Amino acid sequence: MAKLRDCADPHKPLPPDHVAHSTYWWVTQGDAVLGSVELRHHLDHPLLLDAGGHIGYSVRPGYRGRGIATWALAAVLGRARARGLDRVLLTCSPENSASARIIERAGGVLEDVRDTAVGRKRRYWITY
C-alpha cells in the first residue's frame, strides 16, 4: 500500500517503469475487497498510450455484473476531471464485451482496435 501511495505523491520519485497514478479500492462494510480502479495521471510511457490508457479497473469475479465497475469508473472520471484531464483513454480486449459496454455507457468513443505489445485492444476516448 505504501508503494501505491508513493506513486500518487508528486514529491516522491517513481520506481523504474512506473508512471504517476492513484489507486482506489472499494470494499464492503466487512472490509472484503470488491475491486480496484487505477487513474494514471499522465500517459508518458508508450505502452500506456498504445494499450493501457489512463484508467484501468478490475472487479473480483464473484461481484461482477452488479454495476460495481460502472460506479467505479464514474467516480474516477470525476477525479480525472479534478486533475485537469479533459479527456481520458481506456482500453479493453476485443472479447471483453462487458468492459466495452461499461466504457461506452460512460461516454467512451471507440477510436480503433489495434494490435499492441500486450495483444489486441479496443481503444476508447472519453472527453468531458
- pLDDT tens digits, 43-61: 988 999 999 999 999 999 9
- pTM to 2 decimal places: 0.88
**Domain containing 47 — which CATH number?**
3.40.630.30
In the predicted structure, residue 15 carries a pLDDT above the cut 70: no
Q: Is residue 100 scored above 70 in pLDDT?
A: yes
10: phi then psi, degrees, rounded to nearest 5: -65, -10
**Four-point Cα dihedral 54, 59, 65, 71, nearest 10:** -50
Question: Taking Cα atoms as reference points, which of 26, 21, 15 lies closest to residue 79?
Answer: 21
Residue with cell 481520458: 88
Strand partners, 26: 35
Cell of 68: 460495481
60 in Cβ contact with 34 (< 8 Å): yes
| Owning domain of residue 95 | 2-127
Cβ atoms of residues 55 and 42 within 8 Å: no
- Measuring CA to CA, how many Å separate 47 from each of 28, 63, 75? 33, 29, 25
Given a cut of 90, whether residue 28 has pLDDT beyond it is no
What CA–CA distance (Å, rounded) separates 34 from 62? 8
The structural domain count of the chain equals 1
Confidence of residue 5 (pLDDT cuts 50, 70, 90): low
